Chain A
Amino acid sequence: MSAKGYNELMARKGAIMKSAVQIDYSQFESGSIAFDYEGMMEKVGYSLDEIKEIQLSTGVGNTPVYELKNLTALCRKTAEPGKGARIFLKDEAANPSGSFKARRAAVSVYHAKKLGYSGVIAATSGNYGAAVASQAAMQGLKCIIVQECYDSQWKGQPEIIEKARKCEAYGAEVVQLSVGPELFYNFLQLLEETGYFNASLYTPFGIAGVETLGFELSEQMKEKIGRNPDAVVVTTAGGGNVTGTARGLIKAGAEDVKIVGASVDLKGLHMASDKQFNKKSFTTGHTGFGIPFATNPDRSDVPRSAGRPLRYMDRYVTVRQGEVFYMTETLAQLEGLERGPAGNVSLAAAFSIAREMDEDQVIVVQETEYTGAGKHIQPQLSFARDNGIELRFGDPAEEVPGESIILPEYPSMIRAVDLDLDKIRYSYIRNCVAKLDNIEDVGDEDIQFMADETNVNKYVVKKILHSLEGRIESGKAR
């Protein structure tokens, strides 16, 4: 494409997007930082009962919850006496396409069909592609999945290639691209050319689709232990999993459950780097998405993302690649559940957090994903080793993303590391203010909005704004 064609396409972005999701986002805008998030969720989403019905009609949801008794016993062996919460796991791999993403896709594809679209497009290298393809097959729509898959040597991430295979198995066309954020332009071109629905991960319908997960989880736990769990650990990348699960829990009356976000630590790796693309062993669920989307949720492929994780996270932790691989193998060996590594990020975090909790407390891991060729501990570690990544047992804290994967020498070395949520909140507010011409334009409504967005009170927001103002002022003085 010529630079001219490129710029012209980008100029049409708003119009293309509008016809591809049919949401008038402007109705929720205030003209400043604030927008009516709850209004958006209510007006263009579906009610929980409607979503349950939509999902039930395609066999999505109602996944089992297992108590991981052997893993709990192992955890207690590594904990102080009296410590080691009971660990439960919601087996989302039991969904038709093998992951919780079926919940999001079911609603998006249903909505596309209702609006009369003949096909759906999603830009995703992850489980969401398989979910959209599976739902499109069930609901009789055509489907295109756009993946970032290969580096410039045409070497692909085995996990992503497996996802391409799965999408093709459901009859979808898979467009594969090399590394780079310009994937978005190709995605826009396809939307314009086909007139298909943009089955974005971040529309209100997609996020509302995850609410059933949190709701079911609360109901199932009440049945199993007679109450809600103390904590739920949720892998976070784009933020939709945390948002939907937490909203579902709240709708079930489980407001007091601590929501812990977890991402794989890929610090130092650039997500758009051709050379580093195949140096990582996790293609999602990592800090390379988790932190940017938490501090700026509206960086997605829709004007306003319905996934807003900072509203709901009580805590945000990271785990390392080697720890997740170790826990993936442990889950298979001790619990007889062979699942994909990417879905076990929250499991590794929960194993560590359970150790801090009392024996009579309960922690839930809210997802698993399917496993298969390419998307399994062995091919992923084999791929890493072939790419020059050092693999050994040792202290996971020594792991350097892109250089090494350290399997813990002993399970007690698995440690979820807390990220400073206050720093993340600060970055979020700084990003909001950066969109304004003048920090003095921040109104009372904006302050309330940022307080809601970051789950703090207005006073804290004002304090952060004050310190940002000071920085801007001293910047001017210089």
Chain B
Amino acid sequence: MNAEKGDWVRIHKIILTTDERAPQIPEDTKKVPLEMWDKGFLLNDFASIGDEVEVETIIGRKLSGKMIEINPQFDHAWGKCIPEILHIGRQVKGILAKEEN
């Protein structure tokens, strides 16, 4: 996947390596680096996924990182059906209906 100058891309960067992490954090967190993600318009003429690039963010800040996505999208959604939820409304309405009778 390739991007051209001006394309909207997501970049990734390691902020702190495992050796640089704060002393007070839990062991599992110490074993992984502190990572950062941001988005911006590509400033390089041309780049492929995985390349180190420079971008200009939506507010005009310039920063660099590894390009990991072109036209990054949101994919959070409404989740899978959780059948348990369907019983809650029926139950509480049932309790109130009993009161009326």
Stretch among A157-165, A237-245, A311-319 lining the B interface: A157-165
Given the contacts A144-B59, A381-B85, A1 and B20 also touching, CB distance less than 8 Å: yes
Q: Does A376 lie at the interface of the complex (its beta carbon under 8 Å from any beta carbon of B)?
A: yes
With A143-B59, A407-B88, A411-B92 already in contact, the answer to whether A77 and B77 are too (CB < 8 A) is no
User: Who on chain A is nearest to B24 by CB?
Assistant: A181
A459 — which chain B residues lie within 8 A by C-beta? none
Chain A nearest CB from B10 CB (Å) reads 10
Point out the residues of chain B lying under 8 angstroms from A383, CB to CB.
79
Q: By the criterion CB–CB under 8 Å, are B82 and A178 in contact?
A: no
Partner of B35 from A3, A150, A379 at Cβ < 8 Å: A150
Q: Within 8 Å CB of A274, what residues of B?
A: 26, 28-29, 31-32
Provide the residues of chain B in CB contact with A168, threshold 8 Å.
Answer: 58
Q: Give bound CA distance, A57 to B16, whole Å.
A: 42
Flag whether A73 is at the interface (Cβ < 8 A): yes
Would A411 and B76 count as touching, CB distance under 8 A?
no
Q: Interface with B: A108-116, A210-218, A385-393, A419-427, which one?
A: A385-393
Q: A119-B59, A173-B57 are in contact. Are A178 and B32 (CB under 8 A)?
A: yes
Point out the residue from B34, B39, B61, B92 that lies within 8 Å of A333, measured CB to CB: B92
Q: Max chain B CB contacts within 10 Å: which of A1, A173, A379?
A: A173
Q: Is the CB of A392 within 8 A of B84?
A: yes
Within 340-380 of A, Cβ neighbours of B (below 8 Å) are at: 373-374, 376-380
Report chain A residues within 8 Å CB of B91. Answer: 410-411
A334 and B20: CB pair below 8 A? no
Q: How far is the CB of B9 from chain A (nearest CB, A)?
A: 14
Distance of A386 Cα from B76 Cα, bound (Å):
14
Q: Find out whether the CB atom of A378 lies under 8 angstroms from the CB atom of B16.
A: no
A179 CA / B19 CA spacing, docked (Å): 16
Question: CB-defined interface of B12-55 with A at 8 Å, one 1/0 digit per residue?
Answer: 00011001111011101101111111110000000000000000
Contact A391 B84 (CB under 8 A): yes
Among candidates A142, A181, A273, residue contacting B22 with C-beta atoms closer than 8 Å: A181
Structural contact, B85 and A377, CB atoms closer than 8 A:
yes
- In the complex, are the beta carbons of B61 and A173 less than 8 A apart? yes
Asked whether B34 lies within 8 Å of A180 as measured between CB atoms, the reply is yes
Structural contact, B34 and A177, CB atoms closer than 8 A: yes
Which residues on the B side are within 8 Å of A385 (C-beta)? 80, 82
- Which one, B28, B58, B88, contacts A273 given CB within 8 A? B28
Which residues of chain A are within 8 angstroms of B15 by Cβ–Cβ distance?
Answer: 1, 177, 182, 186
Contacts of A175 in B (CB 8 A): 36-38
A contact residues around B89 at 8 Å (CB): 329-330, 332-334
Chain A, range 142-201, C-beta contacts under 8 Å to B: 142-144, 149-150, 152, 154, 156, 158, 161-162, 164-165, 168, 171-183, 185-186, 193-194
Asked if B95 and A411 make an inter-chain contact with CB atoms under 8 angstroms apart, the answer reads yes
A382 at the interface (CB under 8 A from B): yes
A159 CB to nearest B CB, Å: 8
The answer to whether B84 touches A407 (Cβ under 8 A) is yes
Q: Does A326 contact B (CB under 8 A)?
A: yes
Residues on A with C-beta less than 8 A from B33 are 152, 178
Residues 4-51 of A at the B interface (beta carbon under 8 Å): 6
A378 adjacent to B79 (CB under 8 Å): yes
Q: Could you tell me if B38 and A173 are in contact, using CB atoms closer than 8 angstroms?
A: yes
Which residues of A sit under 8 angstroms from B19, Cβ to Cβ?
Answer: 3
Complex contact A272–B92 (CB within 8 A): no
Q: Whole-angstrom distance between the alpha carbons of A212 and B22 in the complex? A: 39
Task: Judge whether A474 is part of the interface by a CB distance below 8 angstroms.
Answer: no
Contact with A along B68-86 (1 / 0, CB 8 A): 0000001011111110110
The docked-state distance in angstroms from the alpha carbon of A190 to that of B16 is 15
Chain A residue nearest to B88 (CB atoms) is A329
In this assembly, does B1 line the interface, its C-beta being within 8 Å of a C-beta of chain A? Answer: no
Q: Name which residue of chain B comes closest to A407, CB basis.
A: B84
Given contacts A173-B57, A334-B93, A373-B78, contact A180 B20 (CB under 8 A): no
A39 and B58 CA atoms in complex are apart in Å by 40
Bound together, the chains give a CA A144 to CA B58 distance in angstroms of 10
Shortest distance in angstroms between A124's beta carbon and chain B's nearest beta carbon?
Answer: 16
Known: A1-B20, A333-B89. A194 touches B28 (CB 8 A): no
Residue of A nearest to B17 (CB): A1
Q: State whether A374 touches B96 (Cβ < 8 A).
A: no
Report 29 cross-chain contacts, Cβ distance below 8 Å, ordered by A residue: A1-B16, A1-B20, A3-B20, A6-B16, A77-B98, A144-B59, A150-B37, A158-B76, A171-B58, A171-B59, A173-B61, A174-B38, A176-B37, A177-B34, A180-B29, A186-B34, A272-B26, A273-B28, A274-B28, A274-B31, A275-B28, A330-B92, A334-B96, A373-B76, A379-B79, A382-B80, A391-B84, A393-B84, A411-B91
Known: A180-B22, A378-B81. 10 other contacts (CB 8 A): A74-B96, A161-B74, A162-B76, A174-B38, A180-B34, A272-B24, A273-B26, A373-B77, A379-B79, A385-B82
Instruction: For the complex of A and B, list the 8 residue pairs with the smallest distance between their C-beta atoms, beginning with the closest.
Output: A382-B79, A333-B89, A379-B79, A374-B76, A152-B32, A329-B88, A178-B35, A274-B29
